[in-house]
Structure formats: C-alpha cells, structure tokens
Copies of this chain bind each other. A is one copy, B any other.
Amino acid sequence: MGRWEPNARGRLEQAAMELYTEHGFDQTTVAEIAERAGLTKRTFFRHYTDKRDVLFAGSAYLQELIVKAVAGTPEPAPPIAAVAAGLDAAAGLLEQRWVEARARHSVIVAHPELRERELIKLASLAAAIAEALRGRGVGGRAASLTAEAGIAAFKIGFEDWISRPEPGDLAGIIRESLDELRAATAALSGP
C-alpha cells in the first residue's frame, strides 16, 4: 500500500461523477478521474475495480444500514414495519445527497450494463432483507415477498423522488408507495 491519501475514496467519487456528467461515462478514463482528484491511477485501483465500480461504492453501506434497521426494529412489529424502518434509514442517508443521487441515476439509466448492475444490487438487497426477516422468525416465502414489496416501494419511490424538480421527502414518498402497494393488493381480497 502506498502512502495514506486523505479521503481518497470521496475525492475519486466526486471526480468521477463530475466527469461522467460533463463528458459522459463512456468518454471518461480512470486516468482522468485520478487526475481530477489529484491522485494516481494506482490509488484509484487500490479502491475500485474499474470506473463502473465507483458508481456502486455506496451500495454495500446502504445495504448494511437497511439490514441493521430491519433486524433492530423492536418486536412485535410486523415484518413490513421492520422493512419500512430499514427503508427509512436508507432514505435518511440518501436525502442528504439528492443532487448526487440524480446525477448518478442519470448516468446509470443511459447505460444498459450499469442498469444491469443496479438491478443485481437491488436483487441482492432484497435477498439480504429477506434474510434479516428470517432472522426475525418470518417464514420462507413470506420473508421473500415482504422484502420484494419493500424493494418495489423503494425503487418506485426513489424514481419519483429524483424526478421531482426539488428535493422532496424521500422517506415520506417511500411510505406513500408502500401504502399504495397495500391499497393495490388489498383489492385482491375476495369474498
């Protein structure tokens, strides 16, 4: 390992997002990202596999935050309430970064291989939430379905949040989405 670079990850992420927005993702090289951040390519590769990786650097932390909140919701909350608490935690973090979230999302939707990676991250988040629910004693299929419901509300709520002209209340939008999901499926209950 080379010498310690203060906040190398933060600087690289910011430089990458700036360049992706200014010149496009395809046109940006790792060398340019490192240069803009005032660091070397070697430092870049100590932190990230490739320029795609920079965009997903926050995913692991977000997942950890959500899973911790799901697991830590006091009993006897119903499983969906634990999931909602997890999504609240994620929203609290994302709300501080509306501009960055919008920029990141616009890069991702423009590139099929980045969209694929985003879907993989969401699928692994759903699996991690289901696992946390199983840790709370929720049975197999119900755990997976409750987790998927949360991911659906998160995904649709997030897309709504970043498409608004001003930063809104992401936690509130996700709660509304969960409620709309409840209302939509409630129409199923037969006689």
Measured in the bound complex, the distance between the Cα atoms of B117 and A159 in whole Å is 22
Q: Are B156 and A152 in contact (CB under 8 A)?
A: no
* Chain A 161-191 interface 0/1 with B at a Cβ cutoff of 8 Å (1 = within): 0000000000000000111111111111100
Q: How many copies does the complex hold?
A: 2
Q: Does A123 contact B (CB under 8 A)?
A: yes
Chain A interfacial residues counted at CB < 8 A = 38
Q: Which of B112, B117, B123, B185 contacts A185 (CB 8 A)?
A: B185
Q: Which of B78, B119, B149 contacts A152 (CB 8 A)?
A: B149
Measured in the bound complex, the distance between the Cα atoms of B151 and A155 in whole Å is 13
Q: Nearest B residue to A173 by beta-carbon distance?
A: B141
